[in-house]
Amino acid sequence: MRFAFIGAGAVGGFYGALLQRSGQDVSVIARGAHLDAIRRHGLRVFGPLGDFTAPLRAESDPAKIGPVDVVVLTVKTYDNATAIPLIAPLVGPGTVVLTIQNGVDSADEVARAIGEGPTIAGSTYIATAVESPGVIRQTGTHRRIVFGECFGAPKEISKRVAAIEPLLKAADIHAEAVADSRPAIWEKFTYLAPFAAFTGAARLPLGPLWGDPFTREMFVAAVGEVVAVARAHGVAMAADHLDKMRAYVSGIPPATRSSLLIDLSQGKRIEVEALQGSVVRRGQAKGVPTPIMAALYAVLKPHAAGPPVVLGS
């Protein structure tokens, strides 16, 4: 099967390399020094599961690749304005477009460009980083994708989703096909948006925040706000979701930092609009109050495009 990844960074590059190593035909859309390095040396992966090099085809122009079987959108959401238009040249009559971006807005954004028909969605759990151009470092062993249809009211796993799942598993990706991907996407979102918000606003890893009783309860309350927004949008959330979330977070290593915090500390753009901003806007649209998430959004919003300009400095 032919795959094309829009984005060859920590997520798309890693998954694309695993698929290529397993025998799939994989191309990546990349740019700059990362593109040049992949063309010269292949994409090199280092980590606890072993080191290897994937000789991926890398292009900056998707028209040079043409239609493929599966397009996977993995760029940071703040790049969507330039990345989503790159999808169209890769789409043929039977192409499936899978977005595994952070947040809950991506599928709608993709569908506005190419239609709901080809679009499917999922969430991913992964610990990787671009160490240098052409080099990806796996920093943990997570490599899970939960994916499925995202429009209509699917009751069973579709044939096209079922056809992709074994290919991902054969590549040593922990793939789980589901009928409707939206509950899984929102489940991750209810944790990720507060986690990124608290760690980013405090400029601290999870440990000091979760270890403080007051901050921990505010974190849980923020998760509750996102759960309320999800339910207002018709997404079923388990009655014991907050209890499960407490147990989950309690098991996370204290030194864990959100990708938003990492980007913030490096002076990069941050996904505040797709995470905290989306919670606030969706809450307002449904009349659901989100005071904690709104306050954290206000703190982080000035950094959306990178370090803000301080007038008079």
Cα dist from 21 to 26, 135, 139, 167, 176, whole Å = 9, 16, 19, 12, 20
Cα dist from 56 to 2, 84, 85, whole Å = 12, 21, 22
How far apart (Å, rounded) are the C-alpha atoms in residues 289 and 279?
10
Strands 52-54 and 57-59: unpaired
Stretch (H or E) spanning 209? helix 206-211
3-state class (DSSP) for residue 142 = strand
Write down the domain spans for the chain: 2-180, 184-303
Summarised one tens digit per residue, pLDDT across range 67-112 is 999 999 999 999 999 999 999 999 999 999 999 999 999 999 999 9
Q: How many Cα atoms occupy the beta-carbon half-sphere of 310 within 13 Å?
A: 2
Low pLDDT (below 50) residues in the chain: none
Indicate the pTM of the whole model.
Answer: 0.94
- pLDDT given at position 66: 98
- pLDDT given at position 312: 67
Tokens of 189: 């979102």
Class level of CATH domain 2-180 = alpha beta
Backbone angles phi, psi at 137, to 5 degrees: -110, 120
CA dihedral over 85, 91, 93, 94, signed as positive or negative:
negative
How far apart (Å, rounded) are the C-alpha atoms in residues 15 and 27?
11
Superfamily of domain 184-303, CATH level 4:
N-(1-d-carboxylethyl)-l-norvaline Dehydrogenase; domain 2 (1.10.1040.10)
Q: DSSP per residue over 40-105, as a string?
A: HH-EEEESTT--EEE--EEES-GGGT---SEEEE-S-GGGHHHHGGGTGGG--TT-EEEE--SSS-
- pLDDT given at position 153: 87
Strands 70-73 and 96-99: parallel
